[in-house]
Amino acid sequence: MCYRRSLIKEGTIVRHFKRETVDPDSMNYLYRVLAVAVDTDTGEKLVIYKALYKTTGCNVFSRKMNEFMSEVDHEKYPDIKQKYRFERCR
């Protein structure tokens, strides 16, 4: 089960909404949060996270906290049931 509202912190496992489109037994679209950082120029919080599956190229990413915690654009992705872009797994 995954949920969103709990605090995102180092070590948290999250799933991206596109996970709904792949084999649920795979690790695709699962990530481990490595850190919550602050942009030194803007002061914005960033989430640093790593793919738990093989990717081509880089497998460590960053995203602004407000984007990381945003809702899925259900107009663009009408078949997605997950409410938020990333949701915490337990």
From first to last of its 90 residues, what are the pLDDT tens digits of the chain? 454 445 788 999 999 999 989 998 899 999 999 999 999 999 999 999 999 998 888 899 999 999 999 999 999 999 999 999 999 886
Q: Which residues contact 29 (CB under 8 A, 6 or more apart)?
A: 15, 16, 17, 18, 19, 22, 53
- State the sign of the Cα–Cα–Cα–Cα dihedral 33, 35, 39, 44: positive
CATH, domain range 2-89: 2.30.30.320
The size of the chain, in residues, is 90
- 13 is written with which tokens? 């496992």
pTM of the model: 0.86
